[in-house]
Structure 1
């Protein structure tokens, strides 16, 4: 199939009035927008995030927020509803617009409009191991260059104040936390120390540090008990021997030297045997042969002494001697009993002391575990306390660094100044865009009309539809008057369209709604179009 360009060109020429009408209309709209849209100015300030002024090795700040995160937090805090409304009222951003409309704007409209017109962009920072300076561009768009610069500088001031407030707030909260932590751990340390002292005071007799000393005391007491037991056994033996001698001889066998001078040789012999029996009786058994011999000799001597006494009529009777011997026996027996009682009492006291020592020794392991637990808790609390004190010192240093603005900070590189030329609208571009849109609409209309037209307009259509070959074709020939009339009509229509578009836009802009407001209303209903016209302000 061969494309017949001459035919389509003829169709275009035939539909040229429609194309020109839409092209003129689009161009008129573009030119009208370029002429009627109010100029807008965008002021811009530049900030930089500076690193810490003091090396971390010497003194570190306690604020560890990344620059990007910090700037995002600052942006969100600045763009809060309350801050934006307060700034709009203080700077009278919408004073002219409210005067024109005769009623104040709703708070939601103000907040939404300011959030669209305030632009905060970050550049640089750490990316993929490359460390670059973090730059922040702050801009604001307004219909007045002075207002744009004033609002931009106000936003910069709010960012600097919020940065200082946030960093000092974080460092202050950190310091306050560690001060509270130190106070809490100090009280906890004192409480645990008091628990250890109270435990040691209540268990001072059973503490592990005196265990070896008490074991030595227990061993000495056991040795002393054994010694007293042996002394008791010896005293009991002596007492038993004394009783045995007295029961056997009737005397204790002990006389003073003065009494011995008055005795006869037989009586002296008898006393010697009695003394020997008394001394041997304390060592030998009662039925020992030697003791039986001594007792037999003593009986024989007693009989001999009795015979001699009867013959000489001595002054001392047997009853008197018996009384004297019995009195000496009682004294010796009482002395032995006193010694035995003392030994028994002393041993009872030592045994009671041994029981106490044994109880404290048995309680020492449990006390050692409890004391070790208390001391371990005390040591852990002390370690936490020392760490908290060290952290508080670092927090104090970090708070001083932030108070003096020696940590990471945001500095202004370039203040916003009123721009000399408006940044929008781009009037030539709007006019060209209107021309292009009009031409596209004209071409679209021509294509649509031709697609909807089913009439036969060339010989090929007759052949294709009727299968008949025409002999010839006669074109429609316009006279010169027809051509002139047609051109005048086209010029009139084009002029009317241009004037109507311009006039309509002027009437709408001055008596109905400003063109920029109309565009805003249209764009609110077309959220997918990324195009905005700033609201008119002061």
Structure 2
């Protein structure tokens, strides 16, 4: 099957007016948009994230936020509703040009529009593969004028620098403030715990574990003293009983039984001579001159002692003189009463020692708990003091801008040419769309037309072989009417469509806004 190019070319020429109308419409739309669309200027600025100026192993900052995270925080703070509205009012971004009527946009549309026009992009930084690259931040803003785009871009850069400094100094300051409060709190709690320990020790001064051995020694010594007092008491009672038996059996107590504390010097001398004589009689005979002399001395002293005793008897409460026996008994009773008082004192001391020794284990546990809590609190306090020192260093580093910082390496300048639209591309796109639409229209019309236009169509469809063909002959009126319709279509395409687009742009809504909304609807 051969393609009759001459036939298809004749069809195209026959319907070329449709093609030209579509081409005119597309070209008119493209040229009108290229002419009417306002210029959009885009200014760019570059920033770089610099690392710490002081090595971290010498003095570390307390701001540990990752670079990417910090840039995202800064971006979100800048793009908040209040910040954008304040910047729009301060820089008069949406003021109408001179000679035009200002149309005030709603606050929501202003915020949404600024978020679309402000672009903050980050490149570089740390990566899982490859070496670490410098983090570069690019800031751009689109505006109808070159000066406005540069002004807003530099304002965004200023906000980024301010937010970065504010975030880092705020974090460092809050860290230092926290550890100052923590150190103050722990210091007060340490003082309270120390006072509790001191008060407990003062309340239980006699039952603390550090004096347990001493109190046990005191208890042993008290037991020994008690045993000695009981022995002395038994001896005194025995002497008292023997003295009583002697007095009851003989009626006399004898000088030997007189206590030394109540004897006169003569009595003591007499007692000494008697003891010495008893010793001599054990080795010498009674006829020994020395023994005889000593007997004479003893007899003389006995006379003297008897005279002293009869002349110096004490008297009782009733005025009756006390006998030597009563004096001895009174002396024994006094000594026994003294020993009984000593026993009572020793027993009381031993009871107090017993109670304190029994209370010592419980006090030891309580004191150990208090001291352990104090030690743990002291460890927390020491750690907090060390952390506060590091926080002070970090705060100083951030105050002097020696930590991680963002620096401007390229300020935004007014661009010489608009970034978009590319008017040549827009016009060419309109021409291209018109061309494609013209070809598509001709193809569709021919596919829908089933009329017989060639002799071969008669043969293929009806099976008839014609003898000859007569072309369609139009009248003059038909030719004029057809040409009028074609020229009217051209007029509409060339004049009315651009005029309609301009009217919409000027009176209804700017075409760039319409195109942006169309893009949003279709998801472009």
1:359 matched to 2:355? The reply is: yes
2: CA distance, partners of 1:99 / 1:215: 108
Match of 2:521, SS state, is coil
The alpha-carbon deviation at position 505 of structure 1 amounts to 2.5
Match of 1:405, SS state, is coil
1: CA distance, partners of 2:103 / 2:485: 47
Assess, with a 3 A threshold, how the Cα gap between structure 1 residues 236 and 5 changes in structure 2: closer, same or farther. Answer: farther
Match of 2:249, SS state, is helix
The alpha-carbon deviation at position 475 of structure 1 amounts to 6.0
Structure 2 unaligned blocks of 5 or more: 259-264, 268-273, 279-305, 315-321
Match of 1:420, SS state, is coil
Match of 1:527, SS state, is helix
1:154 matched to 2:148? The reply is: no
Task: Indicate which of 501, 506, 521 corresponds to 1:527.
Answer: 521
Whether the 8 Å CA contact 1:98–1:105 is kept in 2: the answer is no
Deviation per CA, 1:58-112, whole angstroms, max 9, x where unpaired?
Answer: 1111111111111111111111122111111111111126973444222222212
1: CA distance, partners of 2:19 / 2:383: 84
Match of 1:374, SS state, is helix
Match of 2:168, SS state, is helix
Query: Which residue of structure 2 aligns with residue 228 of structure 1?
Result: 229
Q: Which segment drifts farther, 385-394 or 236-245?
A: 236-245
Query: Which residue of structure 1 aligns with residue 185 of structure 2?
Result: 184
Assess, with a 3 A threshold, how the Cα gap between structure 1 residues 223 and 492 changes in structure 2: closer, same or farther. Answer: same
The alpha-carbon deviation at position 393 of structure 1 amounts to 1.1
1:501 matched to 2:497? The reply is: yes
2: CA distance, partners of 1:72 / 1:40: 27
After TM superposition, the score normalised by the length of structure 1 is: 0.78
Query: Which residue of structure 2 aligns with residue 384 of structure 1?
Result: 380
The alpha-carbon deviation at position 506 of structure 1 amounts to 3.1
1:421 matched to 2:438? The reply is: no
Assess, with a 3 A threshold, how the Cα gap between structure 1 residues 418 and 234 changes in structure 2: closer, same or farther. Answer: same
Assess, with a 3 A threshold, how the Cα gap between structure 1 residues 253 and 98 changes in structure 2: closer, same or farther. Answer: farther
Deviation per CA, 1:174-216, whole angstroms, max 9, x where unpaired?
Answer: 1111111111111111111111111111111111111111111
Match of 1:62, SS state, is coil
CA RMSD in angstroms comes to 3.2
Whether the 8 Å CA contact 2:118–2:142 is kept in 1: the answer is yes
Query: Which residue of structure 2 aligns with residue 120 of structure 1?
Result: 120
Deviation per CA, 1:395-427, whole angstroms, max 9, x where unpaired?
Answer: 111111111111110000100001111110011
The alpha-carbon deviation at position 442 of structure 1 amounts to 3.0
Assess, with a 3 A threshold, how the Cα gap between structure 1 residues 251 and 135 changes in structure 2: closer, same or farther. Answer: same
Query: Which residue of structure 1 aligns with residue 401 of structure 2?
Result: 405
Query: Which residue of structure 1 aligns with residue 431 of structure 2?
Result: 435
What are the residue-to-residue correspondences of 1:345-356 with 2, within 5 Å?
Answer: 345-356=341-352
The alpha-carbon deviation at position 447 of structure 1 amounts to 4.4
Whether the 8 Å CA contact 1:118–1:140 is kept in 2: the answer is yes
Deviation per CA, 1:218-258, whole angstroms, max 9, x where unpaired?
Answer: 11111111111222222222222222222333332336998
1:477 matched to 2:471? The reply is: yes
Q: Which segment drifts farther, 412-421 or 446-455?
A: 446-455
Assess, with a 3 A threshold, how the Cα gap between structure 1 residues 128 and 212 changes in structure 2: closer, same or farther. Answer: same
Whether the 8 Å CA contact 2:455–2:465 is kept in 1: the answer is no
Assess, with a 3 A threshold, how the Cα gap between structure 1 residues 519 and 474 changes in structure 2: closer, same or farther. Answer: farther
Query: Which residue of structure 2 aligns with residue 47 of structure 1?
Result: 47
1:31 matched to 2:31? The reply is: yes
What are the residue-to-residue correspondences of 1:39-438 with 2, within 5 Å?
Answer: 39-96=39-96, 100-129=100-129, 130-254=131-255, 327-438=323-434
1: CA distance, partners of 2:26 / 2:510: 19
1: CA distance, partners of 2:104 / 2:518: 22
Deviation per CA, 1:308-358, whole angstroms, max 9, x where unpaired?
Answer: xxxxxxxx9xxx9xx99x922222222222222111210110110011111
Assess, with a 3 A threshold, how the Cα gap between structure 1 residues 461 and 174 changes in structure 2: closer, same or farther. Answer: farther
Q: Give the number of aligned pairs.
A: 466
2: CA distance, partners of 1:360 / 1:9: 127
2: CA distance, partners of 1:102 / 1:42: 23
1: CA distance, partners of 2:236 / 2:177: 80
Assess, with a 3 A threshold, how the Cα gap between structure 1 residues 377 and 75 changes in structure 2: closer, same or farther. Answer: same
2: CA distance, partners of 1:250 / 1:51: 119
Structure 1 unaligned blocks of 5 or more: 260-267, 273-315, 531-538
Whether the 8 Å CA contact 1:41–1:419 is kept in 2: the answer is yes
Assess, with a 3 A threshold, how the Cα gap between structure 1 residues 241 and 420 changes in structure 2: closer, same or farther. Answer: same
Q: Which segment drifts farther, 227-236 or 189-198?
A: 227-236
Match of 1:100, SS state, is coil
Deviation per CA, 1:366-387, whole angstroms, max 9, x where unpaired?
Answer: 1111111111111111111111
Q: Which segment drifts farther, 177-186 or 468-477?
A: 468-477
Whether the 8 Å CA contact 2:455–2:469 is kept in 1: the answer is no
Match of 2:48, SS state, is strand
Whether the 8 Å CA contact 1:41–1:422 is kept in 2: the answer is yes
Task: Indicate which of 441, 445, 456 corresponds to 1:445.
Answer: 441
Whether the 8 Å CA contact 1:38–1:143 is kept in 2: the answer is yes
1: CA distance, partners of 2:514 / 2:349: 108
2: CA distance, partners of 1:87 / 1:476: 78
After TM superposition, the score normalised by the length of structure 2 is: 0.80
Whether the 8 Å CA contact 1:98–1:104 is kept in 2: the answer is no
2: CA distance, partners of 1:249 / 1:197: 69
Query: Which residue of structure 2 aligns with residue 299 of structure 1?
Result: none
